[in-house]
Structure 1
């Protein structure tokens, strides 16, 4: 297979395609057909069967329309849920361990996990060392 078979995204004015299929074609596909287009890990997740929680999220997402999703995002703890064509243009609130972060699903996100777009770790910014924190700080004059 050539690299053009695996092209994801869109050119300047062209319609979005995922591995040669438009978004409308992807939405009409069965879940097993779409799974064949996915990378191995996501394909196995679908082939083994979605968990009951994942199945509930999938059903809720397909029932909601885009406007309802934008006003009140669908809250979930399922960071390991693959992004499917039915999720495109909908908003989810994904838990990052502390709070729910909003994720607006765009077509380019197909084939990724929801959790990939919500970071769970914050960058560490160290302050100055306190007195007694290191051996050299013993000799800092006190005021």
Structure 2
């Protein structure tokens, strides 16, 4: 006789507070740039060590002041912890895309969230495109 199957109950997945390398977003916001540097990946760290450009400094001051509508062309700007929860419009080459930054986006680039190319949606094959379409009656 076969043994009865064990049904294992799954625990509901708990939505925990986001942490980045052991720090919550509030703790990251409280840190200065020099304290954030050891936590960052290499490429954003190098960019910040070399210094922000004038446009990037202006963007950060607008965000710190709490401007309602912030628009930017600076796709190479790093998402800093103080940007989390804010909505920024990023230029994708044609139009401005509204992006609300989530905690998971910290230390990524702004350009990653405003895609410059459309998704490709392929249609069906046209007449003569395949061997089977040779026998499709024409209208």
Q: Confirm or deny a common fold (TM above 0.5).
A: yes
C-alpha displacement of 1:34: 1.1
Instruction: Note the residue ranges of structure 2 that are not aligned, 5 or more in a row.
Output: 1-12, 127-139
Report the TM-score, using the length of structure 1 for normalisation. 0.72
Deviations 1:95-120 (A, max 9, x none): 00000000000101001001101110
1:1-20 correspondence runs (5 A): 12-20=14-22
User: How many residues in Structure 1 have an aligned counterpart in Structure 2?
Assistant: 114
In structure 1, the gaps of 5 or more residues are 1-10, 130-143
- In the TM superposition, residue 15 of structure 1 has moved relative to its aligned partner by 1.8
1:84 to 59, 80, 86: 80
Superposed displacement of residue 125, structure 1? 5.8
* Corresponding residue for residue 131 of structure 2: none
Higher Rg: 2
CA RMSD of aligned residues (A): 2.1
Alignment of 1:1-143 (within 5 A): 12-64=14-66, 69=68, 72=69, 74-124=70-120
Task: Spell out structure 1 runs of 4+ moving beyond 4 A.
Answer: 124-129
Give the alignment's TM-score, normalised by structure 2.
0.74
